[in-house]
Structure 1
Amino acid sequence: MKHEPFDPRSAAELAPRVPRAGITLICEVRQGSRPWAPARLEDLSPGGFRIARLPGARTELPLRIRIPGMQLLSAQIRWTRDAAVGCAFAEPLHVAVFDHIVRNADAA
């Protein structure tokens, strides 16, 4: 069995670069049959986002999110920390959609 030589670079250095934007925008979120509620979306990437505060969030239920000017998106809560939640989109955003959201958030 042949082994590859050890590469001293960290896993983070070897991982592909994923665009990430430290934006803040107000969107609407909903889980299950709960009513739509405003939420502050932060730290967006094509694969997911963070919501600053989402009390009562349940990781076993999908999250629906409405970003102004966009179609309804689905996501899954991957982690919770205090009242903040980290979410992964059910389908990653196309880079053009990601860029559009970031541009519009910066203009607001």
Structure 2
Amino acid sequence: MSSVSADNSGDPPRAREERAALTLLCEVRQGTRPWRMVRLDDLSPQGFRIAWFPNVTTELPLRIRIPGMQLLSAEIRWQSNAAIGCAFAEPLHVAVFDHLVRKANPTF
């Protein structure tokens, strides 16, 4: 039996290992609301963290357009006064994740 630290975050331990700090400008929307430019500050194959924006609700899925990628869907997992944490509906393929990290941080 393997040992997993209990942190109550709901994220698998692997998500923490593959997390990359980066900065990308992306567009997000919920439902039929207008698209908004936001700063994506943290990315993993399982999800991401973006800067907070007004009128976000955890009940609706979030759509995100990351430059050079297809439209992606995500669920809001948490929010604070400064950020929103989301989980992709379908995790990113590791090659896509690596490409985005290299694109955002060419020296990575």
User: Given the two structures, how large is their TM-score scaled by the length of structure 1?
Assistant: 0.83
Q: Deviations over 1:52-71 (max 9, x none)?
A: 12221100000000000000
Distance in 1 (alpha carbons) for counterparts of 2:82 and 2:5: 29
CA shift, 1:18, in A, is 3.2
Percent sequence identity over aligned pairs: 68
Q: Does 1:76 find its partner at 2:75?
A: yes
Distance in 1 (alpha carbons) for counterparts of 2:91 and 2:22: 17
CA contact (8 A) 1:55 1:83 kept: no
Tell me which residue corresponds to 1:11. 5
The secondary structure found in structure 2 opposite 1:82 is: coil
Q: CA distance change for structure 1 residues 10 and 89 in 2, over 3 Å: closer, same or farther?
A: closer
CA contact (8 A) 1:64 1:75 kept: yes
Q: CA distance change for structure 1 residues 59 and 69 in 2, over 3 Å: closer, same or farther?
A: same
What code does the residue aligned with 1:88 have? A
Q: Deviations over 1:37-87 (max 9, x none)?
A: 100001100000001122211000000000000000000000011141100
Task: Count the aligned residue pairs.
Answer: 99
The secondary structure found in structure 1 opposite 2:87 is: strand
Q: Deviations over 1:13-57 (max 9, x none)?
A: xx4463010001100000000011100001100000001122211
The root-mean-square deviation of aligned C-alpha atoms, in Å, is 1.9
Tell me which residue corresponds to 1:22. 21
Tell me which residue corresponds to 1:95. 94
Residue segments in structure 1 that go unaligned for 5+ positions in a row: none
Structure having the higher Rg:
1
CA contact (8 A) 2:52 2:79 kept: no
| Regions of 4+ moved over 6 Å | none
What code does the residue aligned with 1:24 have? T
